[in-house]
Copies of this chain bind each other. A is one copy, B any other.
């Protein structure tokens, strides 16, 4: 064995660091319309080619092409555009509110709005999403009252979660939005379990679980794939590959030389790799997966290729680890611009309407923010009572917690 060279450790690096230009050729793109759309009852193994392709509908001119074009009526598209823009305006406002120290922490979804918004529109009422902290688009698409959301962010007296959770870790059961956890990946086997429960009960509702590229390295991702496959659970497994996990590039999570979608096929799950910044592609792939799930054909894994355009959170500064203008060069562009272009192209939208809508949303969110702020904030101390801290640990408060509450004098 002595004729071998010394071994060496390979540590993947991104193709661009601060001061450089990222070489995005690592992404392996397909052109719009190029990729086949198999029947929904395809066997998992028959999607093997799709995990190395990229399903796209919108071409560079904003035209919808190919078999994945969902043929949505313009009104639906406009509803989608609105929800995406609402998400973006909301994020921007809340970022500012955080910088103004009105809210303690924030995480935006800038650049990846299409993924959650178009997916939400493709699901049915009663379907349950198991989100991460970056799927506020689901809430916007499902028209959750903004005041409730902002009260959660402000941790104030009307925070539906009673000030217990960090901002953005919403829970909105009636909108099919499961309580977001601060611990990564735990929601994935839960999504599968929820879907299994629906199947056990002979229901028709499906589940949709969300996870980031970085978090696929967590054990619970594997667990979710295994359980989803074994029991053919009616669940969609969404991997949002936004290229980054805080400061680490997706290759550190295992994206080098393979794709996250490929993990799905390996596990026996039908899998797709989709342009996550292409509203039509996201909607269409989501429908395909939902149809499979609802027809007892089992789970689908979808890798959404997108880009985390902003900082990881308000505690992060991405210029420390990647080119400051990286997003501008990301080949899949901006999902809002792309849908706008499409709508404009088919004559259903204009720059003017776009500006008006933006202003309308700014106003709507401004009003909501104002109302929410009138209920106080963590900063000004108008939060749920200290006594409420002892509630909901158990269904009924046991003696030891009553004693502790007493000791606190509340």
Mark A233-266 against chain B: 1 for CB-CB distance below 8 A, else 0. Answer: 0100000000000000001111011100011111
How many chain copies does the complex carry? 2
Given contacts A7-B199, A7-B234, whether A267 and B254 have CB atoms under 8 Å apart is yes
A96 at the interface (CB under 8 A from B): no
Given contacts A219-B222, A229-B254, A262-B268, whether A196 and B9 have CB atoms under 8 Å apart is yes
* B266 near A265: Cβ-Cβ < 8 Å: yes
Mark A283-301 against chain B: 1 for CB-CB distance below 8 A, else 0. Answer: 0000000000011101000
Cα A210 to Cα B266 with chains together (Å): 19
Cα A251 to Cα B268 with chains together (Å): 11
Cα A262 to Cα B43 with chains together (Å): 15
Cα A257 to Cα B45 with chains together (Å): 8
* B10 near A204: Cβ-Cβ < 8 Å: no
Given contacts A6-B202, A204-B7, A231-B10, whether A45 and B266 have CB atoms under 8 Å apart is no
Among B204, B220, B230, contact of A254 (Cβ-Cβ < 8 Å): B230
A72 at the interface (CB under 8 A from B): no
Q: Which residues of B contact A8 (CB under 8 A)?
A: 199, 202, 296
A11 at the interface (CB under 8 A from B): yes
* A11 near B266: Cβ-Cβ < 8 Å: no
- CB-contacts of A286-344 with B (<8 A): 294-296, 298
A232 at the interface (CB under 8 A from B): yes
- Can you list 22 A-B pairs with a CB-CB distance of less than 8 A? A1-B125, A4-B204, A7-B202, A7-B294, A8-B202, A8-B296, A10-B298, A43-B257, A45-B52, A45-B257, A45-B258, A51-B266, A219-B220, A225-B254, A229-B254, A230-B256, A254-B267, A254-B268, A258-B266, A258-B268, A262-B266, A266-B267
Apart from A10-B230, A266-B267, what are 11 other A-B pairs with CB-CB below 8 Å?
A4-B294, A7-B199, A7-B206, A8-B199, A9-B200, A9-B232, A11-B231, A12-B230, A225-B254, A230-B252, A258-B268
